[in-house]
Amino acid sequence: MIKAEKLRARYPDTWPTNYKLGMWIWVFHRVTGLFILGYLLFHLIEVMLSHFGPDIFDKFFGWGYTWWMQSLDLLLMAVLLFHSMNGLRVILFDLGIGIRKHKIVFASVMLLGLATYCFLANDILPYVIGRELF
């Protein structure tokens, strides 16, 4: 078995402590994609429960109005915004726009995503901290 020091010496650019900003963005883009896929599967299971009767569906759907599910909705919104804004950045790069200024483009789309998140979270946040949803 190869020790970590040998791997680090043999492949210095692929060791996580040597990743540059672009590589961490790529890794986080993949992780957020998996999170979105997990949410989609969870949502499909939730919808599938409607076939087992209204009681089971109502009980499961009622969890969506708890503070911790609303917090997960805030997390989901952040993940979706990051993933979509980074996808927009990748599309711009594919079109040849901003390739030489990738850090500025990244900061710009992330600031746009942050502004959108603040605007949207303003509606959900009061319910997370205790106000009734309906």
**134 assigned to some structural domain:** no
**133 assigned to some structural domain:** no
**77 assigned to some structural domain:** yes
Tokens matching residue 61: 């759907």
The secondary element (H helix, E strand) that includes residue 97 is none
Beta carbons of 36 and 44 less than 8 angstroms apart: no
pTM: 0.76
In this structure, is the dihedral angle defined by the CA atoms of residues 112, 115, 117 and 119, taken in order, positive or negative? negative
Return the pLDDT at 47.
Answer: 82
- Give the N- to C-terminal CA distance of the chain in Å, as an integer: 59
**34 assigned to some structural domain:** yes
**30 assigned to some structural domain:** yes
Which amino acid is residue 124, in one-letter code?
I
Q: How many domains does the chain have?
A: 1
* Domain boundaries, position 47: 4-128
Looking at per-residue pLDDT, the higher value among 15 and 92 belongs to 92
Return the pLDDT at 60.
Answer: 79
Beta carbons of 81 and 113 less than 8 angstroms apart: yes
Looking at per-residue pLDDT, the higher value among 15 and 124 belongs to 124
Looking at residue 104, which CATH number applies to its domain?
1.20.1300.10
* Mean predicted confidence (pLDDT) in 99-121: 91
Within 24-130, strands assigned E span none
Return the pLDDT at 8.
Answer: 63
Return the pLDDT at 15.
Answer: 62
Looking at per-residue pLDDT, the higher value among 49 and 35 belongs to 35
- Tell how many helices (H) and how many strands (E) occur in the chain: 5, 0
pLDDT in tens, 62-88: 777 777 887 888 899 999 999 999 999
Looking at per-residue pLDDT, the higher value among 39 and 131 belongs to 39
**Is residue 132 very low, low, confident or very high in pLDDT (cuts 50, 70, 90)?**
low
